[in-house]
Amino acid sequence: MVGVLEGFATIAVIVAVGWLLAHYRVLDEGAQVTLSKLAFHVASPALLLTVMQRTPLDAVLSRNLLASLLAFVMVVGLYLLLARWRWPTATLGSRVIGGLSAGYVNAGNLGIPIALYVLGDVAWVAPTLLLQLLVITPVAMALFDNDARGERPSLGRSLRRMATNPITLGAVAGLLIAVLDVQLPRVIASPVELLGGMAVPSMLVAFGISLRRGPRPAAGRSAGHVWTVVGLKVLVMPAVALGIGLALGLRGQGLFAVVVTAALPTAQNVFTYAVRYRREVNLARDVIFISTFVSVPVIVAIAGLFHAVAGV
């Protein structure tokens, strides 16, 4: 369990730095937007390129990938049904942020250490990482771009948006490098790695600024919306992943990996997307903040259950 706590503690410290910088007025809301733009247009594409070119493809093309996809689709579908009933006036972009907040897990800076220390192998989180980077993110970016331009989603426009979005380009470039087994020269690889190293700190510092300068998390009329999404993310998604994994024949460590990954909190990427497209920024911020804390006892409970029942 030390690995779980270390992963969460690392995030908390960097977020606290952002909070303190905003509290002492070293950085303000303008810096938050600038950091988010830096992460979206430069650092995140570089990080995705670096991660994807190192991802072992033979480890991700498995039933775990299918289980992760089905769990995401079911949870997002449930959110959209609830949103149509509870928040019928929400825009397309707002619903995309809500859906991502409910199903897009922190498979990177939290998933990797948890996979290493709790599951015993980083490869266990690779299916979800690949799914989010190469399938979910490009589709979401296309929907955001269409919403920002007031256009109805269409296949042609969506494909064009995917082909020009920096997040998608970084992930696809990394995958192509891995598939073609290309070795980038150090004069290119080193700057890309340095730029990618800014992605997570930039997102977390911007997040900390928003916690200090924005409204109190889950306050006012938005509280019901926030807690609904948190419940879907931290409680419903692991349960759905467990059912899907069992139905697909997963057992033991494979099933354990699927359920733990589904229980991870909402990724900071969602906040970056919300700021970039100016859709449900406070919702994304609050769900990430609350789900990060709530997921700790949930993951610990899942680990204890699997250890007692399956000996994992």
Q: What is the pLDDT of residues 239-290, one digit of tens each?
A: 999 999 999 999 888 899 999 999 999 998 899 899 888 899 999 999 998 9
Q: What average pLDDT does the segment 182-197 reach?
A: 91
User: Looking at 103-112, 193-202, 297-306, which range is the least confident one?
Assistant: 103-112
User: What is the domain range of residue 172?
Assistant: 2-309
Residue reference for tokens 């033979």: 58
Q: What is the rounded CA–CA span in Å between residue 165 and residue 137? A: 10
Is the per-residue pLDDT at 194 higher than 60?
yes
Share of the chain above pLDDT 90, in %: 33
Q: What is the pLDDT of residue 215?
A: 67
User: The pTM is what?
Assistant: 0.77
Q: How many domains does the chain fold into?
A: 1
Could you report the per-residue pLDDT of 207-226, keeping only the tens digit for each? 788 878 766 676 666 788 99
Q: Sorting pLDDT into bands at 50, 70 and 90, what band is 52?
A: confident
CATH code of 159's domain: 1.20.1530.20
- Contacts with 10 (C-beta within 8 Å, 6 or more apart), sequence order: 109, 113
pLDDT at 167 over 90: no
